[in-house]
Amino acid sequence: MRILVTGGAGFIGSNFVHLIRKERPNWQITVIDKMSYAGNMASLDGVIDDIEFVKGDICDEILIDKLVANCDVVVHFAAESHNDNSLNNPWPFVESNLIGTYRILEAVRKHGKKLHHISTDEVYGDLELDDPNKFSEETRYNPSSPYSSTKAGSDMLVRAWVRSFGIHATISNCSNNYGPHQHVEKFIPRQITEILENRRPKLYGSGENVRDWIHVDDHNSAVLKIIEEGLNGETYLIGANGEKDNKSVIELILSGMGKKPGDYDHVTDRPGHDMRYAIDSSKLISKLGWKPKYTNFKEGLKATIKWYIDNQDWWKPLKAETEQKYRKTGQ
């Protein structure tokens, strides 16, 4: 099996490469990543000598054509991924998430290869706090931000290429990931590293917003399951019943790091801030027999805190620039 991983130097993609190296040692792995601010070669330490790494852009038609021609399956993680950035400058999101996905689809169509497209639960918009329903494969698309609307658009392109051109593709929409190698712009690593730099965590608005947390290894074990057993043209939602409001997560981080639970600041809210995400992953569980391993969020969070304490060389170079961006928006 020859697998092409787009965005393999990012958070989830690099964890996926490590997982595949361990679980499927005979697979040949090629990573393509343009090494945006979010790509980090250090995230591939330990596997880099055992894979092919190509620095390049998924929007590059000729490069993508060549790489897709030489693989059996494309697993497409590459995207601009941060909502706050998409509110400050949407263009890179339109370019990478829409045009980049289009380039991959055309190459997959031309060469008759399989595609697994990685997407997000944010394509469904948000839920009220007291809504008894969760997102399912049948929920209507209703994205809120430039980020989520470009991801929704990329899902639609994949569906259209399956129906109109008969390409072989699957899609997964996952909830909020946490774990090692996540950029310090994201909620959990930002708060851990703020505390490590002796500053207070920063909660947007009231902090009632709920996210459905899943460990990155559980997301990736589900992706592997779908690649191997998923049915052509199907969408699978990935989640692990990890709903928590942001305020509670900050309090857990603070107490896990020996601080008082109230030692945080409220900062400017995100414009259009989605209130709640919640995933019903019963299709994945019943049809493919997938199960998450990290069902204890507190334990997973503890291990993640330890990873950021033990790997300061990985995140320190990213921290100052990230906080400088946030200062401009009062966040």
- Contact residues for ligand NAD, defined by CB under 6 A: 7, 9-13, 32-36, 38-39, 57-59, 77-81, 96, 100, 118, 120, 151, 174, 176-177, 183
The closest residue (CB) to ligand TDX is 120
Q: Is 18 helix (H, G, I), strand (E, B) or coil?
A: helix
- The one-letter code for the residue type at 111 is H
When binding is defined by CB under 6 A, the residue of 30, 43, 96, 120 that contacts ligand TDX is 120
- Please choose which of ligand TDX, ligand NAD, none residue 202 contacts, taking the beta carbon within 5 to 8 angstroms, the exact cut-off set by kind: ligand TDX
For residue 280, what are the β-bridge partners? none
276 is an interface residue for ligand TDX by CB under 6 A: no
186 is an interface residue for ligand TDX by CB under 6 A: yes
Site string for ligand TDX, 86-115 (x = CB under 6 A): ------------------------------
DSSP letters of 25-85? TTSEEEEEE---TT--GGGGTTTGGGSEEEE--TT-HHHHHHHHHT-SEEEE--S---HHH
Query: Which stretch in 50-58, 87-95, 186-194, 280-288 sits in contact with ligand TDX by CB under 6 A?
Result: 186-194
Which residue lies nearer to ligand TDX by CB, 107 or 146? 146
Minimum CB distance to ligand TDX, residue 189 (Å): 8
Burial per residue of 25-53, b for 16 or more beta-carbon CB atoms within 10 angstroms, e otherwise:
eeeebbbbbbebebbbeebbeebeeebeb
Which residue lies nearer to ligand NAD by CB, 9 or 108? 9
- Please choose which of ligand NAD, ligand TDX, none residue 100 contacts, taking the beta carbon within 5 to 8 angstroms, the exact cut-off set by kind: ligand NAD
Q: Which of residues 294-323 bind ligand TDX (CB under 6 A)?
A: none
Longest Cα pair distance anywhere in the chain, in angstroms?
Answer: 58
Whether residue 157 contacts residue 102, with contact meaning beta carbons closer than 8 Å, is answered with yes
187 is an interface residue for ligand TDX by CB under 6 A: yes
Show Cβ contacts of residue 106 under 8 Å, excluding neighbours closer than 6 positions: 61
Residue with tokens 């409001």: 245
Please state whether beta strands 202-204 and 177-178 pair in parallel, antiparallel, or not at all (unpaired): unpaired
Which residue lies nearer to ligand NAD by CB, 97 or 194? 97
Q: Is 259 helix (H, G, I), strand (E, B) or coil?
A: coil
80, 122, 155, 217: the active-site residue? 122
- Please choose which of ligand TDX, ligand NAD, none residue 9 contacts, taking the beta carbon within 5 to 8 angstroms, the exact cut-off set by kind: ligand NAD
Q: Which of residues 147-176 bind ligand TDX (CB under 6 A)?
A: 176
Minimum CB distance to ligand NAD, residue 64 (Å): 9
Three-state SS for 128-155 is CCCCCCCECCCCCCCCCCHHHHHHHHHH
- Please choose which of ligand NAD, ligand TDX, none residue 83 contacts, taking the beta carbon within 5 to 8 angstroms, the exact cut-off set by kind: ligand TDX
Quote the tokens at residue 301: 């969070």
C-alpha to C-alpha distance for 183 and 109, rounded to whole angstroms: 33
81 is an interface residue for ligand TDX by CB under 6 A: yes
Active site residue 80: no
Active site residue 72: no
Active site residue 147: yes
Minimum CB distance to ligand TDX, residue 187 (Å): 3
Quote the tokens at residue 191: 């708060």
Active-site annotation, residues: 121-122, 147
